Amino acid sequence: MPDYAILVYPSANRVYTDSSPVLLRAELAVFGVALSAGITDIGETSIGGVGYVTFSTPEPLAERDIALLSNLSSLYALFEREPETLRPITISPLAGFDSDLLTIQKYPGKTNELFTKLLFNVTLLSTIDPAAMLGGQLHVLDPLCGRGTTLTQAMMYGFDATGLDVDGKDFDAFETFIKTWLRTKRVKHLAESGQVRRNKVRLGRKLDIEFGLTKELYKAGEKRRLTYFNCDTLTTDDMLKANSVDVIVTDAPYGVQHGSHRVGDASLARSPRDLLAAAVPVWTRVLRPGGAMGISWNTNVTRREELVDILDRAGLEVRNDEPLAGFAHRVDQAIVRDLVVARKPG
């Protein structure tokens, strides 16, 4: 039975670094259901004084399996374990751009980009077609996108992305960053900004970007699209067609700046539970049958049972299998973060 070891990517955030091995083990278990060989004996060990996450497979990893595992959020290097030896395995991550697309932006409250990638991966693998993660031209939505970490992760994977956020400062910051980054990296693109109106009513602003993963693909007409609506998340089904999104990935709000202003009850803006109760049915309408929704949230302010009930009432099938039970981790004294994933029947 082949044995493998993963060197864990060192995060700049000490608290997240401490959680990374446990989170990687849980993520690896989710990946296991998509591998041809399957995964057993997931654990941790120290080799030469360095910590590794380890696992075994009934048969050697196939090329497709390695391609999938190459995208594990905290994977720094992959090795096959042999007697007294670690044999490096060449990985092939989907990343189509330099990693600074994810790391340059620094601001208070930013979701760790490694966790964003983890939530992204787990949600992708929970769709009706997990293999679409490799080479599929998927459409990803973050309806509470802030300064766009999920959107840039979708760009890294070569997917189309749409985001909504009501905070004008976040919209401005992301627009400045992404336009500067695309110009600096000489990525072929076209960016347009404008107003969003429905029935002569101004709903907000819009940033639309078409870009190519390479200059050659752009010239050949193979373009990807990123759209950011500076609009209320409860207008999601006004902005997007029904059943048009493959995956929804979002970090639930911790404060008023990420909330909604449409509903008269101001508690909606302050309470993640109330916001999600109003927004999840709206988001579900734009999710394709067979698509998945992944939400991370602070368990100190909303119980899992409450969030599961919201997803159930929206007609989604919540994944409760064992691999999804190992993602809770401390962010700081006030925040213990977890995630939940649900699939739209079809």
Of 30, 57, 89, which residue is a domain's last? Answer: 89
> Which residue carries 């902005």 as its tokens?
239
Query: Is the predicted pLDDT of residue 14 greater than 80, yes or no?
Result: no
Q: How confident is the model at residue 259 (pLDDT cuts 50, 70, 90)?
A: very low
Q: What is the pLDDT of residue 165?
A: 96
Read off the tokens for 132: 């679409």
Query: Is the predicted pLDDT of residue 257 greater than 80, yes or no?
Result: no
Contact 206, 230 (CB under 8 A): yes
In this structure, the answer to whether residues 129 and 172 fall within a common structural domain is yes
Q: Is the dihedral of CA 319, 345, 143, 245 positive or negative?
A: positive
Query: Is the predicted pLDDT of residue 346 greater than 90, yes or no?
Result: no
Q: What is the pLDDT of residue 13?
A: 59
In this structure, the answer to whether residues 168 and 231 fall within a common structural domain is yes
7 within a domain of the structure (yes/no): yes
Question: Rounded mean pLDDT of 57-84?
Answer: 95
Q: What is the pLDDT of residue 254?
A: 67
214 within a domain of the structure (yes/no): yes
CA 103-109-14 angle, 5° bins = 65
Read off the tokens for 207: 């940033």
In this structure, the answer to whether residues 119 and 72 fall within a common structural domain is no
In this structure, the answer to whether residues 77 and 110 fall within a common structural domain is no
In this structure, the answer to whether residues 213 and 322 fall within a common structural domain is yes
In this structure, the answer to whether residues 67 and 133 fall within a common structural domain is no
Q: What is the pLDDT of residue 19?
A: 85
> For residue 80, what is the domain's CATH number?
3.30.70
> What's the predicted TM-score (pTM) here?
0.92
Question: Rounded mean pLDDT of 83-98?
Answer: 93
Residues 6+ apart with CB under 8 A from 205: 168, 171, 193, 194, 195, 196, 229, 230, 231
Of 57, 89, 121, which residue is a domain's last? Answer: 89
Query: Is the predicted pLDDT of residue 270 greater than 70, yes or no?
Result: no
> Which residue carries 């911790």 as its tokens?
254
Q: How far is the C-alpha of 314 from the C-alpha of 272, rounded, in Å? A: 16
Q: How confident is the model at residue 103 (pLDDT cuts 50, 70, 90)?
A: very high
Q: What is the pLDDT of residue 256?
A: 36
Exposed e or buried b for every residue in 244-277, given b needs 16+ CB within 10 A? ebbbbbbbbbbebebbbeebeeeebbebbbbbbb
| Alpha-carbon distance values, 21 to 26, 175, 247 (Å) | 9, 34, 26
Q: What is the pLDDT of residue 131?
A: 87
- Domain, as residue range, for 72: 3-89
Query: Is the predicted pLDDT of residue 294 greater than 70, yes or no?
Result: yes
In this structure, the answer to whether residues 269 and 183 fall within a common structural domain is yes
Mean pLDDT of all residues belonging to the chain: 91
Domain count for the chain: 2
In this structure, the answer to whether residues 156 and 254 fall within a common structural domain is yes
In this structure, the answer to whether residues 45 and 173 fall within a common structural domain is no
**Coil/strand/helix, residue 88:** strand
Q: What is the pLDDT of residue 262?
A: 52
172-229: pLDDT as tens digits: 999 999 999 999 999 999 999 999 998 888 999 999 999 999 999 999 999 999 999 9
In this structure, the answer to whether residues 214 and 148 fall within a common structural domain is yes
95 within a domain of the structure (yes/no): no
Of 65, 89, 113, which residue is a domain's last? Answer: 89
In this structure, the answer to whether residues 43 and 118 fall within a common structural domain is no
In this structure, the answer to whether residues 56 and 141 fall within a common structural domain is no
Q: How far is the C-alpha of 82 from the C-alpha of 91, rounded, in Å? A: 18
Query: Is the predicted pLDDT of residue 163 greater than 60, yes or no?
Result: yes
Read off the tokens for 226: 């990123």
